[in-house]
Amino acid sequence: MKHIVVLTGAGMSAESGIKTFRDADGLWEGHDVMEVASPEGFARNPELVLNFYNERRQQLNEVEPNQAHKDLARLENDYKVTIITQNVDDLHERAGSSNVVHLHGELRKIRSTVNHNDIQDWTEDINLGDLCDNGHQLRPHIVWFGEAVPEIETAVKICYAADILVIIGTSMQVYPAASLIDYVQPDTPVYYIDPKPAIGSGGMITVIAKSATEGMKELLNIFQRKKP
């Protein structure tokens, strides 16, 4: 069974109503990203940061997986599929995908501000004064700017073993995630779905300049034609 590795970014969830990470003006939901997505921002104003992610977490209750999420889950009927996502929502899992690696953390998880391995599932708000068992403030389980990306080595190994790489809805500008394309074998087919693709077709790369849902529809047709 061929192994499809899928790298997804903000464009994957945009059609579900989740805003992309940064709007054209460089703000995230009206905030400078460094205010709400950096350790320094958290140190300056932890209540602002906690409330910001509380709102993002609540928004997950109002959105549903889109057709592209569902189509990726369907691929598991015929392929081994591993999804490496830059998104912090849980829409891949809710659509039925069973093997998802979250590079940048998860909104529905929390961790201790001191022990980064003390991670728990969490669906409610996080407030100042909410403490882990060792008495330290809890924070969102999100990888902020300037922090290490714990899952990147796992993602590199997954890409190295891919038979096919699919990239959906990412600008290929955020590192280290954007470097993962460099770790697939030279003869690995790459399909890049994005309405404003940052790279062009050529060699093993096929660009599908469409939204996630329309692009996945086209990709499924390609895979169907290539079946023996």
pLDDT in tens, 22-64: 555 555 667 788 899 999 999 999 999 999 999 999 999 999 9
Burial of 117 (0-12, 13-18, 19+ CB in 10 A): exposed
Does the active-site annotation cover 92?
no
Structure tokens at 227: 């079946």
φ and ψ at 167, to 5 degrees?
-115, 125
* Four-residue CA torsion sign, 90, 196, 161, 224: positive
pLDDT value at residue 52: 93
* Four-residue CA torsion sign, 85, 36, 17, 27: negative
Which residues have CB under 8 Å from 73's CB, separation 6+?
92, 95, 96, 97
DSSP lists the bridge partners of residue 4 as: 81, 164
Amino acid letter, 135:
G
Indicate the pTM of the whole model.
0.92
Strands 3-8 and 80-85: parallel
Using the structure block, give the residue that is written with the tokens 């991670």: 119
Active-site entry in 104, 116, 136, 141: 104
pLDDT value at residue 180: 93
pLDDT value at residue 117: 87
Among 174, 179, 144, residue whose Cα is nearest residue 159: 179
Classified as helix, coil or strand, 143 is coil
Structure tokens at 59: 């928004």
pLDDT value at residue 224: 86
Beta strands in 22-162 (DSSP E): 27-28, 31-32, 80-85, 100-102, 105-112, 119-121, 138-142
Residues of the chain with pLDDT under 50: none
pLDDT value at residue 26: 52
